[in-house]
Amino acid sequence: MSSYSDSGSQFGVAPTAPQPQAQAVLHPAFPRTALQLFGQIYPQFPVGEIRNQHTIILANSIPRRLPTVQMAFNIDRSQNISSYFMHATGELLSSEQACRRCQRGSGRYAGCVVVKIPMILESTGGACANCWYNRQGSSCTFRTGGIREGDRLPDLKPPVVKNVTRTADRTVYAAPKGTPISIPKIPANHITPDVIRHQAGGRLAASASPPVANALDTKVSSWESRYRKMSTARLVVVQEHLMEWQEDLNTRLIAMNTVFMARMNGPEVEGI
Q: In whole angstroms, what is the distance from residue 238 CA to residue 223 CA? A: 12
Looking at the structure, tell me whether residues 132 and 232 fall in a common domain: no
| Residue 159 forms part of a structural domain | yes
Strand (E) or helix (H) holding 165: strand 165-166
Shared domain check, 124 and 17: yes
Residues 180 and 244 in one domain: no
The confidence score (pLDDT) of residue 128 equals 92
> How far is 46 from 171, CA to CA, in rounded Å?
11
Assess whether 219 and 99 both reside in one domain. no
* Residue 232 confidence (pLDDT): 86
What is the pLDDT averaged over residues 223-243?
84
Closest CA to 132 of 87, 192, 71: 87
Residue 80, by phi and psi: left (phi above 0), alpha (psi -120 to 50) or beta?
A: alpha
85 pLDDT band, cuts 50/70/90, is: very high
What average pLDDT does the segment 34-57 reach? 78
Indicate whether 207 belongs to any domain.
Answer: no
Rounded to whole angstroms, the Cα distance separating 130 from 103 reads: 11
The amino acid that residue 81 corresponds to is I
Q: How far apart are CA 130 and CA 111, in angstroms?
A: 8
**Same-domain status, 225 and 169:** no
- 218 shares a domain with 177: no
The domain total for the chain is: 2
Express the helix, strand and coil content of the chain in percent, nearest 5 each.
Answer: 40, 10, 55
pLDDT of residue 251: 77
Residue 193 lies in a domain: no
Q: Over pLDDT 70: what percentage of the chain? A: 56
Q: Which domain holds residue 252?
A: 213-265
Q: Is 39 in the same domain as 132? A: yes
Does 83 or 202 have the greater pLDDT score?
Answer: 83
* pLDDT score at 178: 41
pLDDT of 150 reads 42
Residue 10 has pLDDT above 80, yes or no: no
CA 27 → CA 79, 134, 147, distances in Å? 28, 31, 38
* Domain endpoint, select from 148, 170, 186: 186
Residues 153-194: tens digit of each pLDDT: 444 444 444 444 444 443 333 334 443 333 333 333 333 444
pLDDT at residue 54 is higher than 60: yes
The arithmetic mean of pLDDT across residues 33-50, rounded, is 77
Judged against a pLDDT cut of 80, whether residue 221 lies above it is answered with: yes
- Do residue 43 and residue 159 come from a single domain? yes
In a domain, 199, yes or no: no
pTM above 0.85, yes or no: no
| 86-128 pLDDT, tens digit each | 999 999 888 888 999 899 888 888 889 999 888 888 888 889 9
Instruction: Write down the pLDDT at residue 49.
Output: 66
